[in-house]
Amino acid sequence: MRSMWWAFADGARHARGRVDDWLVGEKHAVRAAAVCRIGTGLAVLGLLLSNVSTRGMWVGQASVWAEPARAVSRFPELALLDGVSSDILALVYLVTMLATLAFIAGWHAKAANVVTFLGFIAIVAQNPVVSAPGDDLIRLTLLWMLLMRSSDHWSLDARRRGRRLAAGEGAAREEEALPPWLSTGLHNVGLVALCAQTVLASMAAGLDRVAERPWQQGTALYSTMQLPEFRPFPGLSDLLSQSTILLAIVTYGVLLAQLFFGPLLLNTHSRRFVVVLAVVVNAMLAVVFGLPWSTLSTIAVTLLFVSDATWERLEDAVLLATQPVTDWLGDRWYDVLDAVDGLRYRLVLPAVDWVRFTVLRR
């Protein structure tokens, strides 16, 4: 009995050591976090820009039609812009968009994340009538990204840190503020929390859909495509709604991507399949139903499950494609030139001589 207890204790200590090493050893998915930062920022900026001309009716003084919904809501953020003038609203709107631009570019990303988070809540929460699940997803994503190091790659902050290190000035100020183990731990905790939130939200949405009769009967997408507000491209909507095979494929694709998103992440091959399926399904729904910003936020958090090795290979491929041909061919460039010259002397020049002396008789 005592030997079994000691074996269990040793196994628990070993598991705890592995968890500790994973949690504070190194930052995980830093490139995926950068992709999520850019995608989420673009979703926020797109939502604000597309409604900038109607912001008064959406969240300003002309949105009195949504007052009954505000009265029954218990969310405290409704009071952030309650009753402010149109000038104050325009100022908050502008500051939020500028902060979102800085967040996308990764310029002082932490501060930009805070301002974007507060501004997004203050603006979007003013009208519960037109709020969507994608807005809640963006809000939670911005919250968890406050813990994450989303600007370690593909950002102006990363470029600035690189210049500081090259100049021998040491680490950046934000890295000096926290011990490395704490900064790493906070990033990994935020990453795990955001991934868990994504899995739970996807599976909850799938369970909610499969419990509804229109989804069980396969008519949910058809009925939605008949609504005028969800027909940005009538021809495409009619093409899909008139084809029972396409409707069935899309319906089962949506349910598969949501219901089995979590379980299919457990295997490498199935993870690739479900991530690609989720991205394709969300991109198609964005076009068909005219919901680009909410689906973009969903795609951004879905791409967190793409490994950093894949993002690194993609980055190398992009850098290689943008280099001059002589750089990525290397020594093979001379072999290519020799082959071209050989073709020229063996094929092109004899053909030219034959035309000159036979056809033209010169």
361 Cα distance to chain centroid: 67
Q: Which residues contact 216 (CB under 8 A, 6 or more apart)?
A: 210
> Tens digit of pLDDT per residue, the chain (362 long)?
566 666 666 666 666 667 777 788 889 999 999 999 999 999 999 999 998 988 888 888 888 887 787 777 766 666 677 777 888 889 999 999 999 999 999 999 999 999 999 999 989 888 887 777 788 899 999 999 999 999 988 999 988 888 877 776 655 555 557 788 888 999 999 999 999 999 999 999 999 988 888 888 888 888 888 888 888 888 888 888 888 888 888 888 899 999 999 999 998 899 999 999 999 999 998 999 988 999 999 999 999 999 989 999 888 888 776 666 555 455 555 555 566 666 666 666 676 666 666 655 55
189 burial type by CB count under 10 A (0-12 exposed, 13-18 middle, 19+ buried): middle
Residue 256 CB neighbours (<10 A): 17
Rounded to the nearest 5°, which phi and psi values hold at 156? -70, -30
Whole-number pLDDT of residue 71: 74
Please state the length of the chain: 362
Q: Sort residue 83 into left (φ over 0), alpha (ψ -120 to 50) or beta.
A: left
- φ/ψ of residue 162, rounded to 5: -65, -40
The pLDDT assigned to 316 comes to: 83
The dihedral formed by the CA atoms of 135, 137, 138 and 144, expressed in degrees to the nearest 10: 150
What CA–CA distances, in Å, run from 80 to 54, 60, 126, 203, 278?
A: 19, 12, 8, 32, 35
> Tell me, what's the pLDDT at 42?
96
From residue 318, alpha-carbon distances to 106, 300, 312, 344 in Å are 20, 20, 10, 32
The amino acid at residue 194 is L
pLDDT score recorded for residue 248: 87
Task: Please report the pLDDT score of residue 36 as a whole number.
Answer: 96
d(Cα 157, Cα 165) in Å, to the nearest integer?
Answer: 12
pLDDT at 270: 92
> 41: alpha, beta or left, given left = phi > 0 and alpha = psi -120 to 50?
alpha
Neighbours of 19 (CB within 10 A): 10
